[in-house]
Structure 1
Amino acid sequence: MVTRTSSGAASDVLDVVLYGTHVAEVRRGREPHRLDWTWTADAAARWGVGARVVGHAAPVGEPGARLHDLRAGVVVAGLLPEGQARLHYAVNAGIDPDDTFAMLRRYGRDTAGALDFVPRTGRPGDPAAEPVPLGDAQVRELLERAGSSRRDGGLTSISLAGLVPKIALRRAADGSWWQPPPGIPSTWILKVAHPVGSDAADVVDTEAACLDLGRRVGVTTVQAEVIEVDGLRAIAVSRYDRMPDGRSGVARLHQEDLAQALGLNTADPARKFQRGRTIPSWRAASDVIRAGRGRLSPLARLVAFSWLVGNSDHHAKNTSFLRHADGRVDVAPAYDVAAHLHHPGAHRTALDLAGESDFDALTVAHVVDEVASWGVPGDAARAAVVDVVTDLTDALARIDRGRHPGVTPGAWTVLDDRVARAAGELGLRS
């Protein structure tokens, strides 16, 4: 049972609930992009002062202590849509897109991870409320509304970070879609595909294929498929931050992305990329895991896999960490992973590998050196890369390519060649 204090007008206070514990109160800050975040006694009692269960950049404070308002604004803004997607969500709800508190009040009931921002007059989740079944036309309308600015009552109470418009729903065992009520977790994310004929039209197809490969290699648990809803192409991906729960049906698993962990303000989307900066970086990601006493080998495997498939968009918002209720930290399963190198033009990594960002210049040695730079012994760094190359070679041989008709033969050839080349550099038998 969640208990909350009663100070402050209901419309001016959001109670922050994590794993059933009221951890903080949030109010408007001095400026639209700042938030007044006050820690509760319950947070300190359950996890202890200094615990990073909420986030790497937001350690639990003494009861009544405040997280710096600018830091609170940056960490929470990382849960909200970015760029045009944020503008669409704001206009749909009649909100100023720069008003972080208003956006959070409207869309903070089902964010990435397990933080639930509950209006003082609300409840963490109404057990009597039920998801509403949706037909294809209704799903299409929600997807189109997420990518347009129409003031018609808003979308849902769900917030998903990122530049690409997306919605979150529940999916039944028969494949049907359901809209969850406020406070009830969603389980799948849907994103509209780029227009047919555009350069990025096959991104959803290679994403589904890469996640299929990733499950076989063991770097993700995410299910993905390209779907068509009322004539609209989209990709549907399962949420790794939602788990089956015998009592309530679905439980939230907390997570944060690398940008949030580092306290990066990604109002400028370029801040998600390294581009010559010290952060964000893979080494900084390893530091987050090390601070949480997590294992670095899954991060090494993720980095190697992402490089091998040619994922040039693996930036700080596409790299995340799981923060368990017991304080453990793990790298999150791979998501938003797609193959890009079959498209014409120059390609750069989002985060450098051993100081190099040009995909044409990168070799296996860069990946091994990058992992070793985190403090991993050289032999162990090489072994991690060898394992991924071996597993991905097997996965490419076994995957049913017919299940991914939108992936062109040219894209498959680039994938095959990259993995074969890596195996050759490592001296592995084909």
Structure 2
Amino acid sequence: MRKLDVFLEIQGSEVYAGHIQGDDKTDAVFTYDTDYTDKYPGISVALPLSKEPFSPIETSCFFEGLLPEGFSRKSVAKWLHADEEDYLTILAGLGKECLGAIRVEESSDTGVEEPNYVPLTPEQVRDLAAEGATKSTELLVKSHLSLTGASGKVGLYYKDGKWFQPLGTAPSTHIVKQSHVRLQHIVENEQLALRTAAHLGIPTIESFIVNQGGFNDSEILLASKRYDRDMENSVKLVSGMSCPLRLHQEDFAQALGIPGSKKYESPGDEYLKRIFRLVREQSRNPLRDQILLLDILIYDVLIGNTDNHIKNLSMLYTHDLSSMSLAPAYDLVSTMVYKESTAEMSIAIAGEIRWEKMNKETFLEASQDIGISGKVIEREYDRLAKGFKGSLEKSVTELKKEGFLHVDEISGKMMELCKEKM
């Protein structure tokens, strides 16, 4: 029987929260440490403080939700000589730094690797852009870093225009994502979508494009500043550089106790009702965060982002875990500009899942499930739809000045999509 220790950083100090014990996914259960339950809040909405072990399903929903998916997970499993379904082995291999403030390690692991930041050469960064998920998987394993999602991404430390690979328990500051091999110009697509959302008043992650050559897909990366890291209140140095504090976070699938394999809505799931209830009941500012969540969902429809699943929405905790709020919007991409993309949204609105059938009336019909009046929904929909063109044009101008010329083509397609929803 295996035992994995679970630690959580709270206000800059690491605390032992409990352990996962079992042979595999079918029987592994998480149990809080008694001292932890006497002093601190639960690590997840779906894992409230309890003296009893959580079921294998409850345990895997949260902890497996920390791991990469798809090709990245297969690649990581191969590197670790593990079965891709063996989430305990993968978690033990990558868990020294996860999303949020969680750290997981095998109880029998006596070798403590000192935190360190190793500089990456420009050639290594270029390789990361050119080789995509294969190279990012190598860095993930070497860094013992776990990042969710199916695309090739890696956590790196950024300082004064230079990139460093975190080793041991050293936290990263940015998530760096490669271009998708099948979808052209997706880095510019995502940056354009993020900037346009920000110009519309939707809080988004801070991001920038890293160009390692001639602005081709194989030469650019999207770097996103981690909202779950706090550099301003850093209290220690690693390799002579400020070490960010970890802030705890969990995505909506984890908070609702839904497996990552079910992140896309199926009939009867009622994700819309459940995510707004989550925000209403858990946010420290529920009125603000419900409006922000509504804005994100409307914006997804306006740009044709059909990959708006519940793992692309998160709650961010305060330093002491006393409260939480809706995290900034991330992973915003106009997927409908690609012919290969599905036309089914990931969250149904008023029972409708097909993008072409969604519009303002659909949101108004869903007023009861959303828990917001039709008047407010109409106000927000009109505000975003009417401001879209100007915000998009402003973003295009900014990116073209930075040398990214493909945004004209992408923005034209995005504008056509939005016009269908006005």
Query: TM class, shorter-chain normalised?
Result: 0.7 to 0.9
Task: State the distance in 2 between where 1:221 and 1:61 align.
Answer: 34
Query: What TM-score do you get using the length of structure 1 for normalisation?
Result: 0.82
- Report if aligned partners of 2:19, 2:33 keep a CA contact under 8 Å in 1: no
Counterpart for residue 334 of structure 1: 329
User: For residues 316 and 252 of structure 1, do their structure 2 counterparts lie closer, same or farther at Cα, with a shift above 3 Å needed?
Assistant: same
Counterpart for residue 412 of structure 1: 411
* Structure 1 residue 300 corresponds to structure 2 residue 291: no
Of the candidates 110, 114, 128, which is equivalent to residue 97 of structure 2?
A: 110
Deviations 1:130-180 (A, max 9, x none): 3111112223556748527999994321000111122110111x2210011
* Structure 1 residue 378 corresponds to structure 2 residue 374: yes
Of the candidates 41, 48, 68, which is equivalent to residue 59 of structure 1?
A: 48
Of the candidates 26, 32, 43, which is equivalent to residue 19 of structure 2?
A: 26
User: For residues 141 and 363 of structure 1, do their structure 2 counterparts lie closer, same or farther at Cα, with a shift above 3 Å needed?
Assistant: same
Gaps of 5+ in 2: 237-242
Counterpart for residue 234 of structure 2: 246
The structure that is helix-richer by fraction is: 2
Q: Over the residues paired in the alignment, what is the CA RMSD in angstroms?
A: 3.0
Counterpart of 1:276, as a letter, is P
Task: State the distance in 1 between where 2:253 and 2:4 align.
Answer: 26
- Report if aligned partners of 2:115, 2:169 keep a CA contact under 8 Å in 1: no
Shift of residue 370, structure 1, vs aligned partner:
3.1
Task: State the distance in 2 between where 1:361 and 1:291 align.
Answer: 30
Counterpart for residue 323 of structure 1: 317
Of the candidates 132, 152, 158, which is equivalent to residue 118 of structure 2?
A: 132
Counterpart of 1:265, as a letter, is P
* Structure 1 residue 212 corresponds to structure 2 residue 195: yes
Counterpart for residue 194 of structure 1: 180
Shift of residue 372, structure 1, vs aligned partner:
4.5
Report matched runs for 1:344-423 at 5 Å: 344=339, 347-399=343-395, 400=397, 401-402=399-400, 403=402, 405=404, 407-419=406-418, 422=421
User: For residues 326 and 132 of structure 1, do their structure 2 counterparts lie closer, same or farther at Cα, with a shift above 3 Å needed?
Assistant: same
Counterpart of 2:315, as a letter, is F
What percent of counterpart residues are identical?
23
Deviations 1:197-235 (A, max 9, x none): x4x112221101111112222323312233344764332
> Which shifted more, 243-252 or 224-233?
224-233
> Which shifted more, 282-291 or 141-150?
141-150
The number of equivalent residue pairs is: 398
Structure 2 SS opposite 1:180: strand
Deviations 1:48-67 (A, max 9, x none): xxx5x4212111213xx312
- Report if aligned partners of 2:171, 2:244 keep a CA contact under 8 Å in 1: yes
Task: State the distance in 1 between where 2:49 and 2:30 align.
Answer: 11
- Report if aligned partners of 1:306, 1:314 keep a CA contact under 8 Å in 2: yes
Shift of residue 88, structure 1, vs aligned partner:
0.8
Counterpart for residue 3 of structure 1: none
Counterpart of 1:250, as a letter, is P
Shift of residue 371, structure 1, vs aligned partner:
4.8
Shift of residue 337, structure 1, vs aligned partner:
0.7
Report matched runs for 1:85-234 at 5 Å: 85-120=72-107, 129-141=115-127, 144=131, 146-147=133-134, 154-172=141-159, 174-195=160-181, 198=182, 200-229=183-212, 232-234=219-221
Task: State the distance in 2 between where 1:330 and 1:361 align.
Answer: 31
Gaps of 5+ in 1: 1-8, 426-430
Counterpart of 2:306, as a letter, is S
Deviations 1:373-405 (A, max 9, x none): 222122222223233334434422422251473
